Amino acid sequence: MMHVIPASVGSSLPVAAVGPSRPSPGHERLNPVDGAVMVWVPGTAEACPNGRFRMGSTQDEIDRVWEATGWADWRDRTTVEQPAHEVELDGFWLYKHEVTVGQYARFLAATGYVRPAAELWVALKDRVDLPMLFVAWDDAAAYCRWAEAVLPTEAQWEYASRGPEERLFPWGNDWDRTLSNCADYHAGQDLSDAAAVKAWWDTVPQTAEAWVEHLRPVGSFAEGVSWCGTLDMAGNVWEWCGDWFDGAFYGRSEARDRNPECRTRQSHDRVLRGGSWMFDATRCRGANRNWYNPDERLDFGIRPAVSRPGP
Ligand SMILES: [Ca+2]
């Protein structure tokens, strides 16, 4: 069943018209280092009617979403999404897909960077179209340096997922478990509380092979495309951002800087975005924030960004 969320949750403001010198969302080019497709994400001055993107969630938005969906068990996840605040972002390039196992293998071959643990690499190495996972934050940053890219900021990531319309999910405001590689997709039903997620999770073998089998080749969910052309912004693997995690950052003055980023260490954790194959709808929301010890290697992957000027 599809959760129908009131349309008033997101604004219905249209994307501003752009001229030929200002490429539209979805303009693509290749990164010559790893062959990855990058999409152009127009800056807020071009794409947003008032020149700003509203990041985070308002209390009213959370109240209406949660009432419509019954996700009561996870309401506390939204505390760090407040206060909602407007940000100004310059345009940037973002990988259309998560970095694949095949691209990561090229990175390892080119740099001699330390390989993943043997049992993980055996399960992964021939699955070249799957998203690379089991990467720590330093691994992700090293990949980006090799690819002449960077990890996106948390603000860039959320803007690429939600866009000028401030969508709840990359594709729109209504949850549909068939549009991303998430727990509900694997369970074949909407998992609306913690008990339902646990019942499904208990069926998943805790082996590297089982985790790999639950991944999907990048771009498999074409109808889950975001406003700017990126795929798998919800689910498959979590995506590291450049920021240190600070649960109070949205309330700080730096959060309102142009191109904001939490550059100073406020905790032991770095930011992750977008959910993964083992998470529910609330984690696949574009506004959802997650954080983890940057040394951990779990269902975490990479989506690089490039801030060079646009085409
Ligand atoms: Ca993802």
Residue 190 backbone class (left: φ over 0; alpha: ψ -120 to 50; beta: rest): beta
Residue 17 has pLDDT above 90, yes or no: no
Helices assigned H by DSSP within the chain: 44-47, 59-69, 101-111, 118-124, 137-146, 154-162, 183-187, 194-201, 208-214, 281-284
Q: Note whether residue 33 is domain-resident.
A: yes
Cβ atoms 11, 47 nearer than 8 A: no
The rounded Å distance from CA 181 to ligand 1 centre is 8
Band the pLDDT of 192: cuts 50, 70, 90: confident
- The stretch 224-241 carries a mean pLDDT of 98
State residue 185's pLDDT score: 98
**Separation between Cα atoms, residue 196 and residue 169, nearest integer Å:** 21
State residue 231's pLDDT score: 98
- The stretch 294-298 carries a mean pLDDT of 96
Q: Ligand 1 is a single-atom ion; what residues have CB below 5 A from it?
A: 232, 236, 274
User: Whole domain around residue 286: which residue ranges?
Assistant: 2-15+23-306
- The stretch 247-265 carries a mean pLDDT of 95
The rounded Å distance from CA 275 to ligand 1 centre is 6
Q: What is the pLDDT of residues 68-100, one digit of tens each?
A: 676 767 777 789 999 999 999 999 999 999 999
The rounded Å distance from CA 20 to ligand 1 centre is 31
> Where is pLDDT greater, at 170 or 68?
170
Q: Note whether residue 7 is domain-resident.
A: yes
Task: Give me the amino acid identity at 239.
Answer: E
Q: Note whether residue 234 is domain-resident.
A: yes
State residue 190's pLDDT score: 92
* Average pLDDT along the chain: 89
The rounded Å distance from CA 16 to ligand 1 centre is 27
The helix or strand, by DSSP H or E, that contains position 238, with its residue range, turns out to be strand 238-244
Residue 53 has pLDDT above 90, yes or no: yes
Q: Note whether residue 223 is domain-resident.
A: yes
Residue 157 has pLDDT above 90, yes or no: yes
The rounded Å distance from CA 253 to ligand 1 centre is 29
The rounded Å distance from CA 107 to ligand 1 centre is 20
The rounded Å distance from CA 19 to ligand 1 centre is 31
The rounded Å distance from CA 222 to ligand 1 centre is 13
Q: Note whether residue 311 is domain-resident.
A: no
How many Cβ atoms from other residues are within 10 Å of residue 16's Cβ? 16
Q: Note whether residue 59 is domain-resident.
A: yes
For the chain, the distance separating the N- and C-terminal CA atoms, rounded to the nearest angstrom, is 42
Cβ atoms 276, 236 nearer than 8 A: yes
Residue 240 has pLDDT above 80, yes or no: yes
Q: Note whether residue 104 is domain-resident.
A: yes
Band the pLDDT of 39: cuts 50, 70, 90: very high
The rounded Å distance from CA 182 to ligand 1 centre is 10
- The stretch 149-160 carries a mean pLDDT of 98
**Separation between Cα atoms, residue 142 and residue 145, nearest integer Å:** 5
Residue 289 has pLDDT above 50, yes or no: yes
Query: What's the chain's length in residues?
Result: 311
The rounded Å distance from CA 269 to ligand 1 centre is 19
The total domain count for the chain is 1
The rounded Å distance from CA 230 to ligand 1 centre is 10
Band the pLDDT of 271: cuts 50, 70, 90: very high
State residue 5's pLDDT score: 38
**Separation between Cα atoms, residue 133 and residue 93, nearest integer Å:** 22
Q: What is the pLDDT of residues 98-123, one digit of tens each?
A: 999 999 999 999 999 998 888 889 99
- DSSP structural state of residue 131: B
CATH code of the domain in which 165 resides:
3.90.1580.10
Q: Pick the range with the lowest mean pLDDT from 4-8, 193-197, 236-240.
A: 4-8
